[in-house]
């Protein structure tokens, strides 16, 4: 392409197009108006959100559903600060998003001008990197660098703050000359020969190994490699919350989710293991429990792309720093097939004992439990290309326990930051990224009300998003902690809610309210058949509890189990 004289605003959209962007989620305002004015010449579809936090979660959901970089746009000041929660969410879950913000004119910077905020300063600790652009001539290189940094290595959010005058002024646009110049950025690390050999020795000498499967598998696209590795070496696989879908739930070697609300057999298996193989996970405190007693007899191999994660929480014996898929490619030819049936049988015994405690085996007493809703939803939607997007809290844990994910990118949830209000906008982003997929937003009544304004975005964009509100009239997870640890002092957790059905109708969204288990399946079927967005208000048991639970700071094997009365009932049936 020959050189052209263009405004910074036009260069912005041109560069986004060249980076493969088809959709952006944004909200206009004074300092970003030149960019919006130049949007009309672009092929990019702009989705108008109702709050900038929503734009960042949508970009995040878009990125997680597709693996492509999601883009959010906002104006300066409050527009930019509203993005903070979404940026922090993407940072902790390694999600590649690029946030573009307008900034006051470069001559006004530092003068406390109208809607001026030092957003690069504000977002410094919650972005992978950020930029302040004050000249049109810097726009092209900055956008190219932003996308490169966001998507390479351990992905993350990058913010580009562009002053109004940089958008308005013009310069020569030369894509080729604007190549990224990042001499200090090294996303492509790989382990040393010696480390591979040490890892193989530990693997071959291990009698009780477990793979800890994390989000890195999905980001790296290493699902096949992990599966081949597990099958060849006969090693069971436990998953983190963000790892769900990285290894098929129906696979005989799949144990399920580990950690605070992991099933008992998973946590016991980890505690009894003699080798942990951590694949693209970071030993979060929700996964390890008390570090002093965590898998104390196990050697640890950590395959991880971010060197700063090595020995951060758990001291490991062999670190393999690099892209998981590439590292497994190196390891696989040398992995010996070993019969570990004794170990696998012992895990099966743990499993058999714990399965009867499960609420899904309870007789249908007419009560509507969230677990029933999610289990039925799974049965109805399991065969299709379904993306479930969850919020944060009890429903999120029940979803992780009862919805069996077979494929990567079939669950999107806020793990690291635990951001309430994430699900609805992230679900919108997922639907935009994968219009053919059946998108189900599962959200609590608390989190739903944090970002429900985005219902209007769904309607305006004519998006077929299905919303299942798990409505128990409480901030359920906080209530559960109050029940266990604060003597049932339910301070500020009961919610007086509006009629969500009427609310949905007010937005023009077909809405249903379900109070009995027998209505769950028909409502899900009706939602799937309806050609448009649907909201189902599931009014579930108010004081239900997520079991098992490892209390914060307790050892991983010290779980609070479902009270025995219910277990006995289940066993009797």
Residues within the interface to another protein (CB under 8 A): 120-121, 124-125, 128-129, 132, 149, 182-186, 306-308, 310-312, 315
Name the minimum Å distance from CB 30 to another protein.
24
Name the minimum Å distance from CB 176 to another protein.
20
For another protein, the closer of residues 184 and 363 by Cβ is 184
Name the minimum Å distance from CB 181 to another protein.
9
Q: Is residue 115 among the annotated active site residues? A: yes
Q: How far is CA 516 from CA 69, 199, 474, 522, in A?
A: 41, 52, 19, 11
Catalytic residue among 17, 107, 114, 505, which? 114
For another protein, the closer of residues 417 and 468 by Cβ is 417
For another protein, the closer of residues 141 and 340 by Cβ is 141
For another protein, the closer of residues 183 and 553 by Cβ is 183
Q: How far is CA 85 from CA 105, 250, 422, 573, in A?
A: 25, 35, 9, 47
Structure tokens that stand for 71 in this block? 């883009």
Alpha carbons 465 and 102: distance in angstroms, whole number: 30
Residues 467, 534 contacting (CB under 8 angstroms): yes
Name the minimum Å distance from CB 121 to another protein.
7
Q: Number of C-alpha atoms within 13 angstroms, CB side, residue 494?
A: 5
Structure tokens that stand for 215 in this block? 């989000």
For another protein, the closer of residues 125 and 333 by Cβ is 125
Q: How far is CA 564 from CA 76, 398, 548, 571, in A?
A: 56, 20, 12, 10
Catalytic residue among 58, 83, 281, 477, which? 477
CA angle 59, 387, 458 (to 5 degrees): 55
Name the minimum Å distance from CB 535 to another protein.
40
Cross-strand partners of 7: 170
Enumerate the H helices of 182-263 as residue ranges.
193-205, 215-220, 223-233
Alpha carbons 160 and 137: distance in angstroms, whole number: 14
Q: Is residue 114 among the annotated active site residues? A: yes
Name the minimum Å distance from CB 519 to another protein.
49
Q: Is residue 164 among the annotated active site residues? A: yes
For another protein, the closer of residues 140 and 335 by Cβ is 140
Structure tokens that stand for 228 in this block? 């081949």
For another protein, the closer of residues 181 and 365 by Cβ is 181
Catalytic residue among 6, 14, 25, 52, which? 52
Give the CA-trace dihedral at 22, 118, 29, 143, to 10 degrees.
Answer: -20
Q: Is residue 406 among the annotated active site residues? A: no
Name the minimum Å distance from CB 149 to another protein.
6
Helix (H, G, I), strand (E, B) or coil at 54: helix
Q: Is residue 1 among the annotated active site residues? A: no
Alpha carbons 132 and 139: distance in angstroms, whole number: 10
Closest listed residue to residue 262, CA positions, set 289, 225, 292, 282 = 289
Structure tokens that stand for 140 in this block? 């092209």
Catalytically annotated residues: 52, 114-115, 164, 477
């Amino acid at each position: 392409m020959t050189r052209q004289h263009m405004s910074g605003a036009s260069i912005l959209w041109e560069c986004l197009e060249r980076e493969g962007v088809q959709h952006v989620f944004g909200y206009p305002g004074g300092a970003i108006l030149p960019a919006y004015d130049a949007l009309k010449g672009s092929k990019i579809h702009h989705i108008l959100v109702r709050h900038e936090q929503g734009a960042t979660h949508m970009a995040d959901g878009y990125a997680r559903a597709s693996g492509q970089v999601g883009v959010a746009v906002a104006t300066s000041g409050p527009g930019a600060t509203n993005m903070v929660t979404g940026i922090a969410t993407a940072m902790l879950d390694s999600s590649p998003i690029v946030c573009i913000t307008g900034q006051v004119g470069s001559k006004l910077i530092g003068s406390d001008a109208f809607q001026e905020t030092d957003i690069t300063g504000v977002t410094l600790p919650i972005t992978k990197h950020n930029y302040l652009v004050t000249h049109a001539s810097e726009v092209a290189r900055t956008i190219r660098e932003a996308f490169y940094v966001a998507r390479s290595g351990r992905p993350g959010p990058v913010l580009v703050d562009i002053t109004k005058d940089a958008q308005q002024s013009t310069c020569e646009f030369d894509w080729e000359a604007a190549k990224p110049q990042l001499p200090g950025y090294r996303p492509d690390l790989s382990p040393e020969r010696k480390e591979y050999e040490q890892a193989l020795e530990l693997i071959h000498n291990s009698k009780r190994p477990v793979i800890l499967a994390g989000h890195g598998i999905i980001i790296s696209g290493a699902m096949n490699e992990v599966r081949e590795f597990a099958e060849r070496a006969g090693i069971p696989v436990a998953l983190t919350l963000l790892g769900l879908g990285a290894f098929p739930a129906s696979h005989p070697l799949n144990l399920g989710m580990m950690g605070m609300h992991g099933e008992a057999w998973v946590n016991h298996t980890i505690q009894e293991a003699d080798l942990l193989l951590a694949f693209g996970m970071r030993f979060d405190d929700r996964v390890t429990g008390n570090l002093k007693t965590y898998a104390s007899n196990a050697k640890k191999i950590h395959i991880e792309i971010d060197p700063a994660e090595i020995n951060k929480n758990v001291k490991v014996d062999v670190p393999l720093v690099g892209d998981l898929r590439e590292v497994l490619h190196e390891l696989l030819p040398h992995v010996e097939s070993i019969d570990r049936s004794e170990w696998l049988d012992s895990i099966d015994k743990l499993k058999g004992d714990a399965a009867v405690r499960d609420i899904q085996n309870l007789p249908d007493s007419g009560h509507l439990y969230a677990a029933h809703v999610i289990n039925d939803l799974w049965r109805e939607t399991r065969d299709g290309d379904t993306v479930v997007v969850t919020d944060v809290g009890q429903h999120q844990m029940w979803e992780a326990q009862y919805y069996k994910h077979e494929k990567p990118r079939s669950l999107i949830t806020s793990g690291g930051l635990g951001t309430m209000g994430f699900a609805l906008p992230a679900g919108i982003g997922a639907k935009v990224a994968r219009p053919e997929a059946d998108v189900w937003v599962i959200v609590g009544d608390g989190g739903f009300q944090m970002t429900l304004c985005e219902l209007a975005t769904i309607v305006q964009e004519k998006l077929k998003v299905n919303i299942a509100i798990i409505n128990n009239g409480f901030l359920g997870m906080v209530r559960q902690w109050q029940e266990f640890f604060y003597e049932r002092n339910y301070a500020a957790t009961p919610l007086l809610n509006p009629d969500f059905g009427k609310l949905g109708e007010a937005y023009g969204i077909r809405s249903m309210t379900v109070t009995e288990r027998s209505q769950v399946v028909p409502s899900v079927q009706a939602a799937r058949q309806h050609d448009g967005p649907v909201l189902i208000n599931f009014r579930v048991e108010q004081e239900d509890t997520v079991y098992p639970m490892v209390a914060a700071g307790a050892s991983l094997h010290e779980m609070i189990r479902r009270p025995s009365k219910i277990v006995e009932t289940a066993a009797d049936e």
